[in-house]
Amino acid sequence: MDSFSSPSPGSSQQMSAQDLKKQLQSQLALEYAQQFLETVRGKCFEKCITKPGSSLSGSESSCISRCVDRYIEATGIISKALFGGSQH
């Protein structure tokens, strides 16, 4: 039985609203993280990898590191503005 299936008749194992909310939040967080990584990977690869090969050059490695750091920092700033700004 998957997490969205109804419990079998007579079963006392019903998911509470709070449990369902936590599960949905967890699934949304995982989906967001996967989308974030896919975006960063695509954007940073496009920006930093000029000649794809079997290994990264030093400059490509540094570029990717800085690119990922900037995306993470920007995401943090946006998250604080969206979710932290209303908690004065």
pTM above 0.75, yes or no: no
Q: Please report whether residue 11 resides in a domain.
A: no
Backbone angles phi, psi at 86, to 5 degrees: -90, 0
Which pLDDT tens digits describe the chain residue by residue (88 residues)? Answer: 555 555 555 444 577 888 888 899 899 989 988 998 999 999 999 999 988 899 999 999 999 999 999 999 998 898 889 887 654 4
Q: Please report whether residue 1 resides in a domain.
A: no
Q: Please report whether residue 36 resides in a domain.
A: yes
Domain count, the chain: 1
The domain of 70 spans: 20-83
| 3-state percent helix, strand, coil for the chain, nearest multiple of 5 | 65, 0, 35
**Spatial separation of the C-alpha atoms in residues 55 and 52, rounded to whole Å:** 8
* CATH number of the CATH domain containing 34: 1.10.287.810
